Amino acid sequence: MDEMTRLRELRADAPVPDRADLAPGRKRLTDAVEGRSRRTFRLRADWRIASLGAVVAITAAALVLTQVVGVQAPDPTSPATVAGDLDLSSPAAALGQAADFLERQEVPPEPRADQWIYLRQGSPEQEKHWKELPAEIRDQTRWSYSPDSWVPYDDKAAENDTSDTDYRTARESYRIAAGLPEDPEALLAELRKVFPSGTGPEGVPETRDAHSFRALTVLLESYPLPPDALARMYRAMATIEGVGVTGHLIRDAFGRQVIAVTRAYDRNTRREILIDPVDYSYAGRREAVIRTHVVYGPDDSDGPDRTVLKRGDILSDIARTGAAVVDAKGQKP
């Protein structure tokens, strides 16, 4: 039995917890009326809390604003640490190691047109706060909490909907990834074309590097992706100016140890892409406060909507615990 098989068996008994893509002020839209839903891993063009002040005002009744109490040291018995060879000294080292591993994996066949993509993702805090909302509010909102989602792999109706320039169906994403060039600079240039900047009603100005990071992340959250394509994406990510990696594993929303690839969004917050340290699959994303600052309500006053965000606060923490290609909607692996 090889080392990777032993590592996976070590984590085989770990429970798969509930989760859903429900962030502060940005929960997943469930399109039940149309009989389909957008992928929970889609990101808007600004991949941020569009107006942090507005979000804090909306969520001032205590939605998901969690303060980090400290980074836990890696558990020496965890699967990630047992591997013992993780190099987190730099983005090039960590993402290059991930790419090396993925390039050795067999590329599975592309899903069939009649298959479905199953995802399970979210956080315990999101579920808790959703359940605490009064029933009348839950009934009136367009948003809902659901730990599981299914989308058709071949969704022609969604492919023909051009209203959201960041949204791609599972099949579109798979084929975009499979066709990406080897050269990191050319790969990022292609993704900037696929996911344009500053378009649509929510478009915001972006620097070239911010655009590259956001565009790559939109595709990274797709499922499935060919492992060789994912390897090219990781190598390209390491070349983006401002990208970093924590020098240690961090804990995600469910306490799993993960690699965190980071990039500042602005002077106050940063984005963190979470990667499984065993098979290097996408494991989630976080938004963290890197500078203590004050956020005011809609009237910019020192009223009840005024909130102090402290360095280390986590504004959103979305972890993915399940992803699979299945034969029917409602089926779980």
pLDDT digits (tens, 9 = 90+) for 140-176: 776 677 889 999 999 988 888 877 777 899 999 999 9
CB 313, CB 66: distance < 8 Å:
yes
Cα dist from 321 to 31, 208, 330, whole Å? 22, 32, 17
What is the Cα–Cα distance from 152 to 111, expressed in whole angstroms?
Answer: 10
pLDDT value of position 143: 66
**Cα dihedral sign, 119-120-122-128:** positive
Contact in structure between 150 and 332 (CB atoms under 8 Å): no
Q: Which of 249, 201, 238, 200 is nearest to 216 (CA)?
A: 238
Name the percent of the chain lying above pLDDT 90. Answer: 53
Residue with token string 């009136």: 140
3-class secondary structure, 295:
strand
Q: What is the Cα–Cα distance from 248 to 260, expressed in whole angstroms?
A: 8
Peptide bond into 224 cis (omega under 30): yes
Summarize pLDDT for 214-241 with one digit per residue, the tens: 999 999 999 999 999 999 999 999 999 9
7-49 confidence digits (pLDDT tens): 444 433 443 333 333 333 333 333 332 333 333 333 433 433 3
Question: Does 152 sit behind a cis peptide bond, omega within 30 degrees of 0 on the bond before it?
Answer: no
- Six-digit token string for 51: 């107006």
pLDDT, position 134:
81
Q: How confident is the model at residue 74 (pLDDT cuts 50, 70, 90)?
A: very low
pLDDT at 303: 65
Q: Which of 70-79, 112-121, 311-320 has the lowest mean pLDDT?
A: 70-79
Q: How far apart are CA 259 and CA 204, in angstroms?
A: 29
Mean pLDDT of the chain: 77
C-alpha 319/C-alpha 274 separation (Å) is 8
The H-or-E segment that residue 4 falls in is helix 3-10
**Tokens at 252, concatenated:** 């995600």
